[in-house]
Structure 1
Amino acid sequence: MWHYPNLDPVALDLGFFQIHWYGLMYLLAFLLGWWYGVWRARKLVDWTTERVGDLLFYIAMGVILGGRIGYILFYDLAFYLDQPMAIFHVWQGGMSFHGGLIGVTLAMWLFARKVNLSLFQVADFVAPLIPIGLLTGRIGNFINGELWGKVTDSPLGMAVYDPSLQQVVVKYPTQLLEALLEGAVLFILLAWYANKPRPDGAIAGLFLLGYGVFRFFVEFYRMPDAHIGYLAWDWLTMGQVLSLPMILAGIGLMVWRYSNAKKQIVFSNN
């Protein structure tokens, strides 16, 4: 059995100012994303190092604003209406991936207009970068000791102190499972898929499909937010409800873009 090491969420305490691991994980994500983006840009006609830097600024704003606003609206609106100053306590966690995705989509649309590219071109470039942030973000959740899974007797469980039960219990470390599937595995899948020319929008479609499937699966092991609980059938969670449209959109986008590409080939041959 694994035991949670009770990690300190504060990386550096200067007394008047604290640096949290959660924030450092976001910083690491943007640094790694910039590095990988620059590496990819060298292989693509429409991308340069300067353009990658500009894009990541837009993406950062989309992630932070969209992720925070999405969490507030989707998961705990009543609390933040009662405690509005808590909106700014981002070091305590409380970021929604689905809200962040909406924010990033808006940021990509604005950036695409600025540089005269299509939204699909920008989305295909960004898609393989996102799992890097998912990987580091879930590690940040693990360090914070949040988002634990269900109580289990599985050897994959981890012993952790539960303040609500006031005792040590064994739970699934679903933060690490998400880091593995939504981060590492999805990154490898998208990096491999993006290594060859694909119809515009297909890479973004695979990201939506892959993330949606992985997140839907992990939710079976993850505990739902206490103030929301299960939405239906004692198993359907808010995370699964928000992931279903991603799965359908990913399938639809890939089918549409490949179908459109085939039509263009047939038309050009005629």
Structure 2
Amino acid sequence: MDLAYIPSPSTGVLHLGPLPLRGYAFCIIIGVFVAVWYGGKRWVARGGKPGTVADIAVWAVPFGLVGGRLYHVITDYQLYFRDGEDWVDAFKIWEGGLGIWGAIALGAVGAWIGCRRRGIPLPAYADAIAPGIVIAQAIGRWGNWFNQELYGKPTDVPWALEISAGPNREGGLYHPTFLYESLWCLAVALVIVWADRRFKLGHGRVFALYAAAYCVGRAWIEYLRVDDAHHVLGVRLNVWTAVVVFVLAVVYLVVSARVRPGREEIVEPERETAEKKPEPTEEDAAATVPSEPADKT
């Protein structure tokens, strides 16, 4: 008989009158707010203006949500488009299913658009928000706890996660991979903040370090998961994705440090709030010259 385990909530939805409050969506929203708030503090500390991170997030967040959902639906299409499944479920984002790889990729496109509109270098912006993003991931993983999803192999460790029996799942005690990844993300946040302060990282290297460190943890956590997933050469697709992203991130770190050492100076252009005044004409200049006093002699 197991004496200790992590219980799962009986439901992932709380009803406030007719309004359903879904735990998964709530965790995602909190994560976004934390990422924008902390990213804004870091941006100001590096010489940027208050409000810039939030303005660019208006572009990055919607792009990221769409990208995350697209990656999930494409890589797990059998959950929505095989016989017996309802393809409409592909749009039910509140039931879970956001791929971080797609979220970061398409979110970067949105951030690039926002940065371009403000005349800001994307690598500098990415460095400022990287710790906030990984903290948001740590918070967002608790949404999987509410949905009782993405758990690992059966186990009898004291911190095992209790999963209740339901459609397409067996009840029992499993590795709480959501918790493992949440703790790993918090550790990554601490490491990249320390490295940024210690080595004055710039030109996108904080973001690259985040990507590399996150992929290390994600790869081994994937091996513990037992949910359905595509396999390539007997290995889960997300493991291959983590390996590829890790290699690209490390290459970027090395090359960037050689080509553009140090940290860039963030120069955020001033916004023009007033119309430019016309240049004064010769007639205007003549009108401003005081006339000589009349001769009273």
TM-score normalised per structure 1: 0.86
Cα shift at 1:170: 1.7
> Structure 1: which amino acid aligns with 2:257?
Y
Gaps (5+ residues) in structure 2? 263-297
1:222 to 210, 225, 230: 225
Cα shift at 1:167: 5.5
Deviations 1:176-225, CA, capped at 9 Å, x for gaps = 1111102x111111222233521312111101101111100111211242
Q: Is contact 2:208-2:249 (8 Å) kept?
A: yes
Q: Is contact 1:224-1:237 (8 Å) kept?
A: no
Deviations 1:17-46, CA, capped at 9 Å, x for gaps = 31211111122112212221232123112x
Gap change, CA 1:217 and 1:166, over 3 Å in 2: closer
1:28 to 18, 27, 30: 30
**What are the equivalent positions in structure 2 for 1:178-197 lying under 5 Å apart?**
178-182=181-185, 184-195=186-197, 197=200
Cα shift at 1:238: 1.6
1:37 to 24, 39, 52: 39
Structure number with greater Rg is 2
Is 1:61 matched up with 2:62?
Answer: yes
Q: Is contact 2:192-2:209 (8 Å) kept?
A: yes
Cα shift at 1:262: 5.0
**What are the equivalent positions in structure 2 for 1:34-183 lying under 5 Å apart?**
34-45=36-47, 47-76=48-77, 79-80=80-81, 83-163=86-166, 168-182=171-185
TM-score normalised per structure 2: 0.79
What SS class does the counterpart of residue 194 from structure 2 fall into? helix
Q: Is contact 1:149-1:173 (8 Å) kept?
A: yes
Pick 1 or 2: higher relative contact order, CA cutoff 8 A, min separation 6: 2
Gap change, CA 1:165 and 1:30, over 3 Å in 2: closer
More displaced stretch, 116-125 vs 161-170 = 161-170
> Structure 2: which amino acid aligns with 1:133?
A
Cα shift at 1:75: 1.9
Match of 2:257 in 1: 258
Match of 1:266 in 2: none
Gap change, CA 1:88 and 1:262, over 3 Å in 2: closer
Name the CA distance, whole Å, in 2 between partners of 1:229 and 1:114: 39
> Structure 1: which amino acid aligns with 2:242?
S
Give the RMSD, CA atoms, in angstroms: 2.4
